[in-house]
């Protein structure tokens, strides 16, 4: 690793005065820059630039005096706690503005969520695609640890299975889950509104208290508008009619946003519109400001940023734009705590930015919705695209051309399609019998369910490391994975076995703070060069000394 250097050819900006007991400090420039909780004074001593963290300064013309030194630059402390919105951290019960977003089928596992929570960050368990029993078991594990820590659970929009969405909300309310991440929503539904307003009441001081919080993940202005608005009156009336809330609670609900916090989801893994963060985030912030002005909420609306965040530079960019918090996803899947296989972690560690593509989504297959997946080392995207093309062109299993059907049965399904239908039928009889009823009336729907079998099995094969199905792995992944791999090349984090979620998170946050300090110096005419040498990952035991 190159030793970072700093140059300054301009005049001093002031004077540095050493204290009697700390004139000589024995640390390198890089160490001083990483000591983010302390000020950094860039001092000219005997023609060389030296970093100091103690003493005092004056800004203005340098004062010629014995043991007073020209001040060439100054960087203020940038604590990790202050990178984002401190009120957001307080409200969520965390210390650092860092969220591990939910990844389906338990990829954002209980181990990952617990590790983040104990480190002062926030993790969401990936409940999407799991059975209710599996989600309940995860909740019990997270809730029944000896020492509590903050965490949340995912609530994914399920337009094809509305009963499942409602059942998840029933479970969350019964288990006392007070924080969910709402993802992939295209419209507000009765279950998500029910979750938000259940238990709403006035506190002793007259303020409106909502026990249940939603952090909504969105990539479109119209969806952000819905979440930043009060719950729709139609849905509130329905909840009152169902006796799930009182008329008084419905009146209170009309004064709060569905979600106080919204994550602008840029180009990410899984469900994504692949929007550039530099345009999406300001757009969602404009929606926030407009909705805050329109409804004059007593609590301010906030926007975080996720998608494409895999390096300190991207994190620093997010915080510079004003993100209340950052959310990571793809890079967490490559960590040892993720609920996937070592084979997948190895594949992710070899990923470059261009190694991702879009493929049909299992949960919204018929609608043509796509997800971003890894294409390097797997044929899933190509094969899934062929299934969607065949679905669009044909009306039933029997309508498939014989050559296409034979190829599907020998390569993708490795079984007769009738056998796959029987497996699919048995699954939905347990999960959602209405799907079977519809498929027995509508042969095209049966075709869709059979094709969805492949799309549904492919992430399972990946998560369990089924070697015979390696070319069929569906691995949700965004370009942040490639950026992360490039950043950690040549460091201890290059090896997949060393990628633990908390050291990764702290290195990103610490690096972001360092970059923000470098930018302060740059604005003062100091040439800091490339930020890369300043933010190379360091071992977790070395990080702690820089945080205080």
pLDDT, one tens digit per residue, over 30-82 is: 888 999 999 999 988 887 888 888 888 998 876 766 667 899 999 999 999 99
Helices (H), 442-544: 443-464, 480-488, 501-523, 540-543
Determine contact, residues 319/305, Cβ cutoff 8 Å: no
Report CA dihedral (163, 169, 172, 177) to the nearest 10 degrees.
160
In SS3 terms, 258-297 reads as CCCEEEEECCCCEECCCCCHHHHHHHHHHHHHHHHHHHCC
* % helix, strand, coil for the chain, step of 5: 45, 15, 40
Say which residue, 513 or 9, is predicted with more confidence.
513
Percent of the chain whose predicted confidence (pLDDT) is above 70: 97
CA distances from 390 to 60, 386, 449 (A): 73, 6, 13
More confident residue, 164 or 290: 290
Q: Which residue has the higher pLDDT, 146 or 207?
A: 207
Mean pLDDT of the chain: 93
According to DSSP, residue 209 is labeled E
CATH code given to domain 81-340: 3.20.20.70
Q: In terms of DSSP H, where are the helices of 201-246?
A: 221-228, 233-241
List, in sequence order, every residue forming a beta bridge with 43; answer none if it has no partner. 50, 71
Q: CATH 3.20.20.70 region(s) of the chain?
A: 81-340
Residue-level pLDDT at 162: 84
Inter-CA distances, 202 with 17, 46, 210, 260, 297, Å: 55, 65, 9, 17, 15
Question: SS3 for 46?
Answer: coil
Answer yes or no: is pLDDT of 21 > 70.
Answer: no
> Are 254 and 263 spatial neighbours (Cβ–Cβ below 8 Å)?
no
Looking at residues 481-495, what average pLDDT do you find?
96
Q: Give tens-digit pLDDT for 96-145.
A: 999 999 999 999 999 999 999 999 999 999 999 899 999 999 999 999 98
Q: Average of pLDDT values for 202-231? A: 97
Q: What per-residue confidence (pLDDT) applies to 67?
A: 67
Tokens 């990628």 belong to 499
Residue 233 has pLDDT above 60, yes or no: yes
pLDDT (tens digit, 9 = 90+) per residue, 330-368? 999 999 999 999 999 999 999 999 999 999 998 889 989
Neighbours of 443 (CB within 10 A): 15
Structure tokens at 188: 């507000």
Q: What is the pLDDT of residue 3?
A: 64
pLDDT at 73: 92
Q: What is the mean pLDDT of residues 324-333?
A: 96
Collapse the DSSP code of 410 into the 3-class scheme (helix H, G, I; strand E, B; otherwise coil) and give the result: helix
Q: How confident is the model over 523-538, as a mean pLDDT? A: 89
Banded pLDDT at 23 (limits 50, 70, 90): low
Contact 81, 512 (CB under 8 A): no
Confidence of residue 480 (pLDDT cuts 50, 70, 90): very high
**pLDDT tens-place string over residues 152-203:** 999 999 887 888 899 999 999 999 999 999 999 999 999 999 999 999 999 9
Rounded to a whole number of angstroms, the distance between the first and last alpha carbons of the chain is 25
Q: Which two tokens stand for residue 464?
A: 């369990």
Residue with tokens 């959602």: 432
Residues 6+ apart with CB under 8 A from 159: 186, 364, 367
Cβ pair 72, 43 in contact under 8 A: yes
- Please tell me the predicted confidence (pLDDT) of residue 110: 97
pLDDT at 62: 67
Token pair listed for 140:
């019990």
Q: Which of 25-29, 363-367, 376-380 has the lowest mean pLDDT?
A: 25-29
Looking at residues 284-311, what average pLDDT do you find? 97
pLDDT at 22: 55
Q: How far apart are CA 180 and CA 178, in angstroms?
A: 7
Residue 26: what pLDDT? 61
Q: How many residues does the chain have?
A: 548
Give the pLDDT score at 447.
96
Structure confidence at residue 49 (pLDDT)? 86
- pLDDT category at 546 given cuts 50, 70, 90 is confident
The confidence band for 531, taking pLDDT boundaries of 50, 70 and 90, is confident
Whether pLDDT at 318 is above 70: yes
What whole-number distance in Å separates Cα of residue 313 and Cα of residue 509?
10
CA 544 to CA 367: how far, in whole Å? 48
**b vs e for 273-307, b when ≥16 Cβ sit within 10 Å of the residue's Cβ?**
bbbebeebbebbbebbeebbeebebeeebbbbbbb
Angstrom distance (rounded) from CA 90 to CA 96: 9
pLDDT category of residue 25 using cuts at 50, 70 and 90: low
Query: CA dist 90 to 84, 93, 203, 224, Å?
Result: 11, 5, 19, 23
What share of the chain has pLDDT > 90, as a percent? 80
């Amino acid at each position: 690793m190159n030793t970072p250097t700093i140059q300054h050819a301009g005049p001093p900006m002031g004077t540095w005065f050493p204290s009697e007991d700390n004139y000589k400090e024995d640390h390198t420039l890089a160490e001083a820059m990483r000591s983010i909780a302390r000020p950094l004074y860039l001092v000219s001593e005997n023609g060389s630039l030296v970093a100091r963290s103690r003493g005092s300064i004056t800004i203005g013309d340098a004062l010629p005096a014995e043991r007073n030194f020209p001040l060439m630059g100054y960087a203020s402390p940038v604590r990790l706690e202050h990178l984002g919105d401190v009120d957001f951290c307080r409200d969520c019960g965390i210390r650092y503005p860092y969220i591990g977003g939910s990844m389906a089928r338990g990829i954002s596992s209980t181990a990952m969520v617990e590790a983040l929570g104990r480190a002062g960050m926030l993790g969401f368990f990936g409940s999407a695609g799991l059975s209710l029993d599996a989600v309940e078991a995860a909740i019990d594990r997270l809730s029944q640890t000896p020492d509590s820590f903050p965490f949340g659970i995912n609530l994914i929009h399920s337009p094809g299975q509305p009963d499942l969405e409602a059942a998840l909300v029933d479970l969350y309310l019964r288990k006392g889950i007070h924080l969910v991440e709402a993802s992939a929503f295209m419209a507000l539904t009765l279950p998500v509104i029910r979750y938000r307003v259940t238990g709403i009441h006035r506190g002793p001081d007259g303020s409106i208290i909502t026990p249940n919080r939603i952090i909504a993940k969105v990539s479109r202005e119209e969806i952000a508008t819905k979440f930043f608005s009060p719950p729709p009156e139609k849905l509130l009336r329905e909840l009152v009619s169902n006796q799930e809330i009182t008329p008084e609670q419905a009146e209170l609900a009309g004064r709060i946003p569905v979600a106080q916090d919204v994550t602008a989801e840029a180009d990410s893994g899984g469900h994504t519109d692949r929007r550039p963060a530099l345009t999406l985030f300001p757009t969602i912030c404009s929606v926030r400001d407009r909705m805050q002005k329109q409804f004059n909420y007593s609590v301010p609306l906030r926007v975080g940023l996720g998608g494409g965040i895999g390096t300190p530079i991207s994190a620093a960019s997010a915080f510079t734009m004003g993100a209340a918090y950052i959310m990571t996803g793809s890079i967490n899947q490559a960590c040892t705590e993720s609920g996937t296989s070592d084979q997948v972690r190895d594949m992710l560690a070899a990923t470059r930015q261009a190694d991702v593509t879009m493929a049909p989504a299992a949960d919204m297959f018929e609608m043509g919705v796509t997800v971003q997946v890894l294409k390097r080392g797997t044929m899933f995207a190509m094969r899934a695209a062929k299934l969607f093309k065949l679905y669009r062109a044909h009306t039933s299993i029997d309508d498939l051309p014989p050559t296409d059907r034979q190829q599907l049965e020998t390569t993708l399904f490795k079984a007769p399609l009738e056998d796959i239908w029987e497996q699919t039928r048995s699954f939905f009889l347990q999960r959602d019998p209405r799907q079977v009823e519809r498929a027995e009336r509508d042969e095209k729907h049966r075709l869709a369910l059979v094709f969805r079998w492949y799309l549904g099995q492919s992430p399972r094969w990946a998560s369990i490391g089924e070697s015979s199905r390696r070319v069929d792995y569906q691995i949700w992944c965004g370009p942040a994975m490639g950026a992360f791999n490039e950043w950690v090349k040549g460091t201890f984090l290059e090896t997949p076995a060393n990628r633990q979620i908390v050291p990764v998170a702290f290195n990103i946050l610490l690096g972001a703070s360092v970059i923000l300090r470098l930018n302060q110096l740059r604005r003062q005419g100091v040439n800091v060069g490339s930020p890369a040498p300043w933010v190379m990952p360091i071992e977790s035991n070395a990080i702690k000394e820089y945080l205080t």
